[in-house]
Amino acid sequence: MSAAVRSFLLSGNGDGKMSKRAGFHRRLYDWVLHWADTPYGIPALFLLSFAESSFFPIPPDVLLIALALGATAKSFRFAFVCTVSSVLGGMFGYTIGLVFFEVIGHKILDFYGFLDKFAEVKELFLRYDVWLVGIAGFTPIPYKVFTITAGAFGMNFPLFVMISAISRGARFYLVSGFIWKFGRPIKSFIDRYFNLLSIVFAVLLILGFTVIKMFF
């Protein structure tokens, strides 16, 4: 990846909000991004997507976009790698919640500020489990929080895997599709309108499951 591409990717990131973890996250972001300059971009993408689904704070989209911009023809291959590894990572997060919640799961939730809201999350999860996992899988909501929660509350595992594959795949293929179709200019659009796209997808997801429920 050239210096120009790196500068382009770094521009416009962040919403201007300051936090105690901002510097730490920025260093992690730069570390993740540097893998696009190496021959290990795809293995790094696989490991990052896996880790982000259970504990790592930086989303794989960062490296996915960098790799797709550098090799547009391979955009969908990168999306496939992201989807498969993210679902596998989600299964690992589910295992953490199911088996190791007291050992490590609650520490991860605490790191992301969800531990003190665990009772509220539990109530929402027991009522809307499939919706929450699907929405978290696509939106900026920390997906790892809900993979761990899914295991802790014993969500149906095949259903968990299915909705994770749908939502994660939709997210990564949408990003890669935009890069493949429009190239570098679409990056600014993704930065600006991703939350809106997330809301639209969430509505479509809920409508889809409502239709399935009506017929089956």
Asked if residue 12 is part of any domain, the answer here is no
pLDDT tens digits along 137-179: 877 678 888 899 899 988 999 999 999 999 999 989 988 998 8
Domain range for 170 is: 3-7+20-215
- Specify if 50 maps to a domain: yes
Is the CB of residue 149 less than 8 Å from the CB of residue 97? Answer: yes
Question: What confidence score (pLDDT) does residue 207 get?
Answer: 56
Percent of the chain whose pLDDT exceeds 90: 29
pLDDT above 70 as % of the chain: 72
**143 within 8 A of 90, measured Cβ to Cβ:** yes
Count of structural domains, the chain = 1
Q: Is residue 186 part of a domain?
A: yes
The pLDDT of residue 25? 64
Res 44: pLDDT: 94
Is residue 210 domain-resident?
A: yes
Asked whether residue 15 carries a pLDDT value surpassing 90, the answer given is: no
Residue 181 lies inside a defined structural domain of this protein: yes
Taking the C-alpha atoms of residue 160 and residue 134, their distance in angstroms, rounded to an integer, is: 9
Q: Is the pLDDT of residue 7 over 70?
A: no
d(CA 9, CA 69): 9
In a domain, 13, yes or no: no
Within-domain flag for 198: yes
The pTM of this model reads: 0.76
**Is the C-alpha dihedral spanning 27, 76, 47, 39 positive or negative?**
negative
